[in-house]
Amino acid sequence: MPISRRSILGAALAAIPVVGLAACSSNSGGSGSSGSGGSGPITVGFSQVGAESGWRTANTESIKASLTEANGFKLTFVDAQQKQENQIKALRDFIAQGMDVIAFSPVIQTGWDQVLQEIKDAKIPLVLTDRAVTSSLSDPYQGFIGSDFKKEGTAAGDWVKKNAPDAKIFELQGTMGSAPQVDRQSGFEAVVGSQVIGRASGNFTRAEGKTAMEAALQSYPDMTLLFAHNDDMGLGALEAITAAGKTPGTDIKIVTVDAVKDGLKALYDKKFNYVVECNPVFGDQLADLIKKVHAGQSSTTQTIVTETTFDQSITQATIDARKY
């Protein structure tokens, strides 16, 4: 069942908004080399969540491949190692450096209003990617590109409801308070929440997913299905399940989100049972959005990036053909 991920065209909201220009600023603000309408490259400061997962690696590669000097950008890219304080510091540095545009993927949803106000005061257009924020400011950012995580959680829940209606579910949550953790959990539990017997966070990493699952197997020996908010935690949990003498994909079914190659390989090997795609490859769309925001345009982009789902019928050819 494909989950089509599309942008907002004009006022009509698509089923799953990916790219939306909340409100465009009237100028490029910063004192970067291009200024508003200058001929030089658009200077962009980007604060990335970290390098916690295969998805994030693919996302970083996509962004760096698109925001190049050849494409008219001068990119300053900072990895926050999954710490909000590192992101806030980077955003303040970007203000001080007079970037033309600032972009970031917020590690968690809350705690940004002060620095978002500083960016507004500096009249520097802001674009959010991947994850959203909750803010009390009006027009806290001028553009957003990212997936509908609630839809992803619902797709996972629908598969469980149909294929494992009696499952005793353990849920490995992503980084607590992050948009994907909140929304995937919300979508999933709206469908099969009554079957969830326990939860713990694996912070979207393989190592922490394994540690959390080791404890969960002790606390919930009767679990029959794991829903992991990303492939990496599912792969870590898989190691714990095997070490406990159980067969992943059979004794304990595994449902995950992302569809990175390692996750799809586990699906092909029948160790995962169902994987919902979350596409990290949006560097080109982000480049287009930054140029529009920088120019103060109020248009939106029609970007249709189909996200889909995979079950154990997946082929090696399908895996080999994928970008990430």
* Residues in touch with ligand GZL (CB under 6 A): 52-53, 55-56, 130-131, 147, 180, 204, 230, 232, 257-258, 278
Classify residue 114 by burial, with Cβ atoms within 10 Å: 0-12, 13-18, 19+: exposed
Long-range contacts of 215-221 (CB under 8 A, 24+ apart): 216/170, 216/172, 217/241, 217/244, 217/246, 220/168, 220/170
Classify residue 279 by burial, with Cβ atoms within 10 Å: 0-12, 13-18, 19+: buried
Write out the two tokens for 106.
């917020």
Residue 70 CB-half CA count within 13 A: 4
Q: In whole angstroms, how close is the CB of 30 to ligand GZL at the nearest point?
A: 26
Q: In whole angstroms, how close is the CB of 59 to ligand GZL at the nearest point?
A: 7
| CA distances (Å), origin 69, targets 40, 66, 123, 163, 209 | 10, 9, 24, 49, 38
Q: In whole angstroms, how close is the CB of 52 to ligand GZL at the nearest point?
A: 5
Q: In whole angstroms, how close is the CB of 60 to ligand GZL at the nearest point?
A: 11
Closest CB to ligand GZL among 52 and 158?
A: 52
Residues whose CB falls within 8 Å of the CB of residue 142, separated by 6 or more in sequence, listed in order: 21, 22, 23, 24, 25, 125, 126, 127, 293
Closest CB to ligand GZL among 53 and 195?
A: 53
Q: In whole angstroms, how close is the CB of 232 to ligand GZL at the nearest point?
A: 6
Closest CB to ligand GZL among 43 and 53?
A: 53
Decide: 124 and 102 in contact? Cβ < 8 Å.
yes
Report the amino acid identity of residue 292.
Answer: K
Closest CB to ligand GZL among 28 and 173?
A: 173
Q: In whole angstroms, how close is the CB of 271 to ligand GZL at the nearest point?
A: 18
Closest CB to ligand GZL among 2 and 37?
A: 2
Closest CB to ligand GZL among 29 and 180?
A: 180
Closest CB to ligand GZL among 100 and 232?
A: 232
Q: In whole angstroms, how close is the CB of 139 to ligand GZL at the nearest point?
A: 23
Give the integer Cα–Cα distance in Å for 119 and 117: 5
